[in-house]
Structure 1
Amino acid sequence: MSPLILLVDENEASAVFVRPLEQAGYQVVHVRNTSDASSYAAHNPVNLLLLNIEDEQADTQGLIRTLQQNHPHIPLFAMTSSDEEGHVVSCFEQGAHDVIVLPFYPRVFQARVANLLRIFGVERDVKRTIEAGDLHIDNASRMVSRGGQKLELTPKEFELLLHLAIHLNQVCSRQQILKDVWKHDYIVDTNVVDVYIRHLRVKVDKGYKFKMIRTERGIGYSLRTPLEAE
């Protein structure tokens, strides 16, 4: 299972933060405040907390302190646009395990995230191949094949299939897919998930007797293997 990073940011999840993490193979989930972070962490195996701190926030140190106290065993990485010495030192004093100043080099960011996970003993297996029946997904090369035949997927199709594979034989709601794959808490009046599922079905299931991508009526979708599906 890929390490799960919980991004705490009151604004929309910026691609500046998310893209380098996804390119490195991590799962990224976005919440807007410490309360939502605690709720999510209580029910999901969060491996790293990533906090985006804005200079104008009234109590930036309080955010760090709250997260550290509520989740002392999860590494806390703070991002800030302030390079003022006292501010950065204070972030560490309040409990941050690392601090990076924006803007940053993506590869440096990736390396420091990997370093924190390594220090906290999180096994980084994001490069391993996920196998589901005769479906093979290589996280590192982003190559997908079924029955030995290579499948040509768009980047978003790959991300959607990977999300379903990570939750193999589990039901994924449309809302959760939108949040984890499209990085939106909700989208009103859209069928984007259904459209991409149709695309995946053509590429993954067409020509095969066993259909792996299943519709869970009224809920969402799942990726099933033969032993679990029937």
Structure 2
Amino acid sequence: MELLLVEDNRRISEFVVKGLEESGFAVILAENGVDARRAISEKSWDLILLDIMLPDIDGIELLQYTRYKKINTPILIMSALGEPDDKVKALNLGADDYLAKPFHFNELVARINALLRRSKNVDFAENILHCNDLVLHVDKHMVERGGREIKLTLQEFMLLKLLMENKNKIMSRTQILNTVWGINYNSNTNVVDVYISYLRNKIEIEGSEKLIETIKGRGYLIRTKE
């Protein structure tokens, strides 16, 4: 497993690199945004560990750049910015997880392993899911609506896949959180609502029928006429 660590604090980067290498990961360090952008564009990574406060191109810009380039590599934000608004912003822009500094190293490894497991499991079954004119190709990790391809991040893809596998069935926030983000994820987070909004913005294009419904006090469902 090759990980890209983007971190300008030498003390933190040495600690993280040493620990991850001892845990069996191959880690490449980028100490600034320019080097990180080059590494992201030139090579495929299993996972990106991304700091926000960098000396030139900040982590948010790198996150936006990565998703703009249609690179769906799982991204784990590691930042001293731990306010809810900081987390929501990063998740809304396509981050897959957010870990506030300081953190326990064991938690970092657990979150990395969880993201890597989920990225592997995306291609688990070779089938196609339909919901009206929305089509999800599980084996190809591809989504189309009305014949137009829609680019999704890993978490968006898994969320949509869960809803489409349970068409016309209400999925509670807890069910979604446990399935997509893992049973040990912080249950007080609003990450489900954030990603539902993010998903709607991508699949509910202008002039198309709205598919994802909010069932007040219960959760979400994707409705089909089929």
TM-score, normalised by the number of residues in structure 2 = 0.47
Choose between structure 1 and 2 for higher RCO, CA contacts under 8 A separated by at least 6 residues: 1
When Rg is computed on C-alpha atoms for both structures, the one with the higher figure is 1
TM-score, normalised by the number of residues in structure 1 = 0.46
